[in-house]
C-alpha cells in the first residue's frame, strides 16, 4: 500500500502510526497476538515484543537456540541475541 501522493514524510509517518494503532487494537481487544505463518519480521518486532508476556521471550530464545545453533536463520527479525544468549 502506498501513501497518497504529495504527503510529507511527517504526514506519512503519522498515518502509518495511526494505522498501526488501529490494526494492533484488534488482537489486543481479543487477547490475541500479531504473529503469523510468515513470522514477525523487523517491522512488527517492537509491537510483538511489547505485547509478549514475560515468560515468552526466554522460551522463544531457547527454541531459536535449539533449532538455529549459529543464529543464521532470519537473524535479528524477532529476537535480540546478546553475547550471553
Taking the domains of the chain in order of start, what are their residue ranges?
9-67
d(CA 46, CA 10): 20
Q: Is pLDDT above 70 for 82?
A: no
Report the predicted TM-score, pTM, of the whole model to 2 decimal places: 0.63
**Of residues 27, 65, 68, 69, the one with CA closest to residue 44:** 27
Report which of residues 15 and 44 the model is more confident about. 15
Residue 83's pLDDT is 55
Q: Residue 84 has what pLDDT? A: 56
Q: Quick one: what percent of the chain has pLDDT higher than 70?
A: 89
Given a cut of 80, whether residue 78 has pLDDT beyond it is no
Amino acid at each position: 500500500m502506498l501513501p497518497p501522493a504529495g504527503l510529507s514524510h511527517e504526514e506519512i509517518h503519522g498515518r502509518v502510526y495511526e494505522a498501526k494503532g488501529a490494526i494492533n487494537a484488534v488482537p489486543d481487544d481479543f487477547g490475541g497476538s500479531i504473529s503469523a505463518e510468515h513470522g514477525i519480521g523487523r517491522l512488527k518486532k517492537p509491537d510483538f515484543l511489547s505485547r509478549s508476556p514475560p515468560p515468552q521471550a526466554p522460551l522463544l530464545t531457547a527454541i531459536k537456540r535449539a533449532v538455529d545453533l549459529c543464529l543464521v536463520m532470519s537473524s535479528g527479525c524477532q529476537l535480540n541475541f546478546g553475547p550471553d544468549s
